[in-house]
Chain A
Amino acid sequence: MRLKEKFNQLKKKGKKAFIAYIPFGFPDIKSTKGICLALQEAGADIIEVGIPFSDPLADGPIIQQATTVALNKGATISMIFEAMEKLKKSLKIPVMLMSYYNPILQFGRERFFGRMKKAGIGAVTIVDLPVEESLEYKKTAEKFDIDTIFFVTPVTPSKRISKIAKASRGFIYYVSVTGITGPRDFNYSSLKKHIDILKKKTSLPVCVGFGIHTKKQVKVISSFSDGVIVGSEIVSFIAANHSKNDFLKKLKKQILSLKGDG
């Protein structure tokens, strides 16, 4: 399923998107498939799969540690595509990729988007590729009909927001804090103000990520945006529980609880 379809579906039901981030290959290569299916069963609306990178500039310690583990286990981009191709039939919800630019550059842009298409992955966001540098990448993505998601932050000037909105497809990723990934507290009213301004400039859905780690935050932030992305909280839950009995069952319960359905 594509993002557009998903957001339309949610809109009809009056619901907001719950986007679950997991790094590929954590805690090991073979567990990603099971985790994806568990996330779907727990009612995640979109899964964002992170491509591990050796130097994750925008990530806090929780995601850094997880991606380091994944790289030590030998995770590669090809493995991600292989896993996702196998999941294509059973995963009904949209999958998107998140990456830093260099692994994609070395894999080859054409080859990368081609493989995405084949694996049924419809969207990608690149942490360290601001709009100004994205011309070639956008062109190739369009050729393969892949959605490119760009970031807006609390400090992005208004002129830039318009540029970013124009380059984005699927949704706009609003970074909730000036900082890195990892649990945070929020000033909801200021966050809402920023989202309101952003929503005036775009017809795309606006989803909020970075720092969201409690049920309350999910609920409040969803109320004034089109969805939330939860990363570090899920990653630290996986880190703490993956070796326990009934890990996937526990994970499902945790997602349900974060979503406020549990």
Chain B
Amino acid sequence: MKLPDNRGYFGEFGGKFVPETISYCLEEVERVYHKQKKSKVFKKELDFYLKEYAGRPTLLYYAENLSKYLGMKVYLKREDLLHTGAHKINNALGQGLLAKAMGKKRIIAETGAGQHGVAVATVCSLLGFKCDIFMGQEDIERQSMNVFRMKVLGAKVIPVTTGSCTLKDACNEAFRDWVTNVSDTHYLLGSCLGPHPYPLIVRDFQSVIGKEARVQILKKERRLPDYLVACVGGGSNAIGLFYPFYKDKKVKLIGVEAAGFGLQSYNAATLVKGKIGVFQGTMSYVLQDSQGQIKNAHSIAPGLDYPGVGPEHSFYKDTKRAVYGTVTDKEAIEGFKMLSELEGIIPALESSHAIAYLRKLSKKAKNRLVLVCLSGRGDKDLDIVRQAQISADTKKRR
């Protein structure tokens, strides 16, 4: 079976649920992508930038202290060491070169935490595109440092004040801009989300994570891991790690979603708590109310704070190829501290969800071989963690 099929479906998930004008925009992206995918020149150029500019291949690090502490053998795929500090640059470089092949002059993107926005602004500066980043007003306030980073890189950050003023609204606004300016503009979507062909394109560009990891672990351990673990926002770092292991049925795949304040409260656990629906161009699990209105998500990790999820994950879930667990805000902070204190590696709050999940996994996976995607570094989150610490301390004193 081809995943996705020609219509962009992974089983019953995916597709292109978009206004007629966007259908046209998507067709152009699809056509050029399929052509470039086969081009040796394109591949060579992308490989060059991934290696010489972004710093690939990333290390696969055996986390000895963490392993001892948890009683499992844990390897970290160090996407945090990439230029700009997260896996997002893999996709931004790929799509940046695609936009060049399409002859576009301007790139737009949505961002929540600002990580994808920074990656896109970086690539635009490198490849010479005009760059406009849509960001919810609320996120602009939460992530002021990344806003400034994007500006330093020459991008314009456009505040989005509609809806809930967060990532999903920034996405809507980017689509609206795209239909209006498609002749010179490429929309560089940041995760394996949205209408076909985005889930395919982003997965392909992120698959470098899993391809490298597979070779590296075979070299170091002479066998495949028992478990792969990755956090799931839209799902791009997870699918990038999982996909090259898809056919290795013995390798168990675990995606970790954000349980936010808890599964009975505000969260971003789309696969665990959502219902199947159509949101932002794709059929997938969605956090929604009984009327089909999209709910506001919550996670302490801005990059996970989104009420949708990539259709390929919905397919993995329903076919039981992967399982999806959850980690609360509080547990994520514990994971953040655990890795920082034991290994001297400060993880992004998004990645901290994957790390925190290891605690739960260690109860049933003693001595097993586990490979975790460390999707980003935590410098951007120090303020959030400090704030959380302060409010936890004052609660204790009361």
Q: Is the CB of B288 within 8 A of A106?
A: yes
What is the CB-to-nearest-CB distance from A132 to chain B, in angstroms, rounded to a whole number? 7
Q: Is the CB of A57 within 8 A of B20?
A: no
Once bound together, how far apart are the Cα atoms of A158 and B326, in whole Å?
A: 48
- A-side contacts of B182, CB under 8 Å: 155, 178
User: Does A107 belong to the interface (CB within 8 Å)?
Assistant: yes
Q: Is the CB of B281 within 8 A of A105?
A: no
What is the CB-to-nearest-CB distance from A251 to chain B, in angstroms, rounded to a whole number? 26
> Contact residue range for chain B?
20 to 34
Once bound together, how far apart are the Cα atoms of A245 and B168, in whole Å?
A: 39
Contacts A54-B293, A55-B163, A57-B172 given: A129-B179 contact, CB under 8 Å? Answer: no
Contacts A54-B163, A130-B20 given: A102-B278 contact, CB under 8 Å? Answer: yes
Contacts A55-B294, A68-B163, A103-B293 given: A156-B24 contact, CB under 8 Å? Answer: yes
Contacts A102-B277, A178-B179 given: A151-B15 contact, CB under 8 Å? Answer: no
User: Does B65 belong to the interface (CB within 8 Å)?
Assistant: no
User: Does A113 belong to the interface (CB within 8 Å)?
Assistant: no
Q: Is the CB of A105 within 8 A of B278?
A: yes
Contacts A57-B176, A128-B281, A180-B176 given: A103-B291 contact, CB under 8 Å? Answer: yes
Once bound together, how far apart are the Cα atoms of A127 and B278, in whole Å?
A: 12
- B-side contacts of A60, CB under 8 Å: 176
User: Does B18 belong to the interface (CB within 8 Å)?
Assistant: yes
Total of A-B residue pairs, C-beta within 8 Å: 109
- B-side contacts of A105, CB under 8 Å: 277-278, 292
Q: Is the CB of B21 within 8 A of A101?
A: no
Q: Is the CB of B18 within 8 A of A71?
A: no
Partner of B292, one of A102, A133, A151: A102
Q: Is the CB of B19 within 8 A of A151?
A: yes
Q: Is the CB of A152 within 8 A of B279?
A: no
What DSSP secondary structure best describes chain B's contact surface?
A: mixed
With CB as the reference atom, state the residue of chain A lying closest to B281. Answer: A128
With CB as the reference atom, state the residue of chain A lying closest to B182. Answer: A178
Q: Is the CB of B293 within 8 A of A132?
A: no
Once bound together, how far apart are the Cα atoms of A68 and B169, in whole Å?
A: 13
Once bound together, how far apart are the Cα atoms of A152 and B20, in whole Å?
A: 7
User: Does B39 belong to the interface (CB within 8 Å)?
Assistant: no
Q: Is the CB of A179 within 8 A of B21?
A: yes
Q: Is the CB of B168 within 8 A of A102?
A: no
Q: Is the CB of B277 within 8 A of A106?
A: yes
User: Does A76 belong to the interface (CB within 8 Å)?
Assistant: yes
Q: Is the CB of B19 within 8 A of A55?
A: no
Q: Contact mask A56-68 → B, CB, 8 Å, 1/0?
A: 1110110011001
What is the CB-to-nearest-CB distance from A134 to chain B, in angstroms, rounded to a whole number? 10
- B-side contacts of A178, CB under 8 Å: 21, 24, 179-180, 182
Contacts A76-B291, A106-B288 given: A175-B176 contact, CB under 8 Å? Answer: no
User: Does B17 belong to the interface (CB within 8 Å)?
Assistant: yes
Q: Is the CB of A133 within 8 A of B15?
A: yes
Q: Is the CB of A151 within 8 A of B288?
A: no
Number of interface residues of A (CB under 8 A): 41
- A-side contacts of B24, CB under 8 Å: 153, 155-157, 178
User: Does B286 belong to the interface (CB within 8 Å)?
Assistant: yes
Partner of B278, one of A56, A128, A152, A156: A128
- A-side contacts of B278, CB under 8 Å: 100-102, 105, 128
Q: Which of B20, B163, B168 is the most central at the interface, judged by chain A CB atoms within 10 Å of its CB? A: B20
User: Does B247 belong to the interface (CB within 8 Å)?
Assistant: no
Chain A contacts with B in 129-151, Cβ cutoff 8 A: 129-130, 132-133, 150-151
Chain A contacts with B in 61-110, Cβ cutoff 8 A: 61, 64-65, 68, 71, 76-77, 100-107
Q: Is the CB of B292 within 8 A of A57?
A: no
What is the CB-to-nearest-CB distance from A164 to chain B, in angstroms, rounded to a whole number? 8
User: Does B16 belong to the interface (CB within 8 Å)?
Assistant: yes
User: Does A21 belong to the interface (CB within 8 Å)?
Assistant: no
User: Does A24 belong to the interface (CB within 8 Å)?
Assistant: no
Once bound together, how far apart are the Cα atoms of A168 and B172, in whole Å?
A: 27
- A-side contacts of B288, CB under 8 Å: 102, 106
- B-side contacts of A164, CB under 8 Å: 20
Once bound together, how far apart are the Cα atoms of A219 and B346, in whole Å?
A: 64
Q: Which of B15, B19, B168 is the most central at the interface, judged by chain A CB atoms within 10 Å of its CB? A: B19
What is the CB-to-nearest-CB distance from A58 to chain B, in angstroms, rounded to a whole number? 4
Q: Is the CB of B20 within 8 A of A64?
A: no
Once bound together, how far apart are the Cα atoms of A104 and B292, in whole Å?
A: 8
Q: Is the CB of B180 within 8 A of A130?
A: no
Contacts A53-B293, A64-B162, A104-B292 given: A58-B19 contact, CB under 8 Å? Answer: yes
User: Does B280 belong to the interface (CB within 8 Å)?
Assistant: yes
Contacts A128-B17, A130-B18 given: A179-B180 contact, CB under 8 Å? Answer: yes
Q: Is the CB of A128 within 8 A of B18?
A: yes
Q: Contact mask B14-46 → A, CB, 8 Å, 1/0?
A: 011111111110000000000000000000000
Contacts A76-B291, A106-B291 given: A57-B21 contact, CB under 8 Å? Answer: no
- B-side contacts of A104, CB under 8 Å: 292
Partner of A103, one of B16, B168, B280, B292: B292
User: Does B242 belong to the interface (CB within 8 Å)?
Assistant: no
Q: Is the CB of B20 within 8 A of A55?
A: no
- B-side contacts of A157, CB under 8 Å: 24
What is the CB-to-nearest-CB distance from B51 to chain A, in angstroms, rounded to a whole number? 37
What is the CB-to-nearest-CB distance from A103 to chain B, in angstroms, rounded to a whole number? 4
Partner of B280, one of A57, A64, A152: A57
Q: Is the CB of B280 within 8 A of A55?
A: yes
- B-side contacts of A129, CB under 8 Å: 17
Partner of A132, one of B7, B21, B179: B7
- B-side contacts of A130, CB under 8 Å: 16-20, 23
User: Beyond the given A55-B279, A152-B20, A178-B21, could you list 5 further A-B residue pairs with CB under 8 A, ordered by the A residue number?
Assistant: A58-B21, A102-B292, A106-B290, A106-B291, A132-B15
Give 9 CB contacts A-B under 8 Å.
A55-B280, A58-B21, A106-B275, A128-B17, A128-B281, A133-B17, A155-B24, A156-B23, A160-B23
Q: Which 6 A-B pairs have the closest CB atoms?
A: A106-B292, A179-B180, A103-B292, A151-B20, A155-B24, A58-B19
